Amino acid sequence: MAFFEVDKFGAIADSHGSGMLEFGTPYFIAGGNRAGRSPAVRKEILNGLINCLSEIASVPKEDVSGHISELPASWTMEAGEVLPEPGEEPDC
């Protein structure tokens, strides 16, 4: 996850894929996620991040945009363990 505050509009390299992520707001969130979630869930995650950044930084939500790139879960590790696919997490 990366948060950017900029003086102008622009683009950054997508760290989870190829290409560029263009933005037109003073604040931009670039995040990465395990692939396999529905578009509605991805939108909910991004909107939650935008709302949190807006509240914490005391900036209007209209000044914040973002993008969440996705990679297969099998490409991601936490604490030395390969992550399961979304929805296949073990019960605790």
Closest by Cα among 19, 20, 52, 14 to 33: 14
- pLDDT > 90 fraction of the chain, expressed in percent and rounded: 25
**Tokens representing 58?**
């005391």
Number of domains in the chain: 1
Q: How confident is the model at residue 15 (pLDDT cuts 50, 70, 90)?
A: low
26 CB neighbour count, 10 Å cutoff: 17
Closest by Cα among 36, 43, 27, 26 to 86: 36
State the average pLDDT over residues 77-89.
85
Looking at residue 76, its amino acid is T
On whether residue 92 sits in a domain, the answer given is no
What is the span of the domain harbouring residue 6?
2-77
CATH of the domain at 34: 3.30.429.10
